[in-house]
Amino acid sequence: MFEVRSLFRLFWVTAVASAAMTVPAFAAPAQASGGGAKPKPAATAAAPASKVEANLLQLMRGVLYPASNVIFAAQDDLTKQPKPEDASTSPNPLTTTYGGWQAVENAALAIAESANLVMMPGRMCSNGKPAPIGRADWVKDVQRLREAGRAAYKAAQKKDTDAIVEVSGTLSDACSACHDVYREKKTGPQDRCLP
């Protein structure tokens, strides 16, 4: 538990520091890189750098599920996607302005990034139980998810359909490994997120 918490603190501080570099509202003083200047403490930030907005179920439905469907769809010929009326408003990621292989890359990155979201302290399961982010097997399952996302990103960058077919299996296994333990509860949804 302690280890995960301190890891998160490191992540949070890094996130604040990098946000300060790109978001003018943080008004961070310009820092010379490699000049030995110590970064200012983040205590002056007006709002917390991160805040949980969804329960785990909503996060799964909103981010992981649609993103993995894009990867799974990319096992077929992408040019056979239905043509949208207007690519700038298409609700199908594969047919938007950022469609085709670009959409597959984006979905892969969304999955890799979702590993960070699944690990956020304060993320609750739909039954009110906290997501078990301190458990070693949960951390391992999340790492598997992250690696599947990274592998999908590489396959998409290469526009390699065979690699996407393979990575689709890896991805779906990563989802199931965690679901088998933490979602599919014979005793009912009240026991989700419990070991």
Count CA atoms within 13 Å of residue 31 on its CB side.
15
**Minimum CB separation from ligand HEC for residue 97, in Å?**
24
Give the interface segment with ligand HEC, choosing from 43-51, 82-90, 158-166, 176-184 (CB under 6 A).
176-184
Furthest C-alpha separation in the chain: 58
Q: Is 141 near ligand HEC (CB under 6 A)? A: yes
CA pseudo-torsion sign 126, 130, 136, 139: positive
Cβ–Cβ < 8 Å for 151, 111: no
* Residue 108 φ/ψ, nearest 5 degrees: -65, -40
Q: Is 70 near ligand HEC (CB under 6 A)? A: no
Q: Is 73 near ligand HEC (CB under 6 A)? A: no
Q: Is 63 near ligand HEC (CB under 6 A)? A: no
Q: Residue 187 and residue 195: Cα distance in Å, rounded?
A: 12
Q: Is 74 near ligand HEC (CB under 6 A)? A: no
Q: Is 164 near ligand HEC (CB under 6 A)? A: no
Q: Is 120 near ligand HEC (CB under 6 A)? A: no
Q: Is 194 near ligand HEC (CB under 6 A)? A: no
**Minimum CB separation from ligand HEC for residue 139, in Å?**
8
Helix 161-182 vs helix 65-73: crossing angle, to nearest 10: 150
Q: Which residue from 94, 108, 152, 171 is in contact with ligand HEC, where contact means CB under 6 A?
A: 171
Read off the amino acid at residue 77.
D
Q: Name the one residue in this structure whose structure tokens are 């949208």.
A: 84
Q: Is 54 near ligand HEC (CB under 6 A)? A: no
Q: Name the one residue in this structure whose structure tokens are 């056979």.
A: 80
Which residue ranges make up the site for ligand HEC (CB under 6 A)?
55-57, 60-61, 64-65, 68, 111, 118, 125-126, 138, 141-142, 145, 171, 174-175, 178-179, 182-183, 192-193
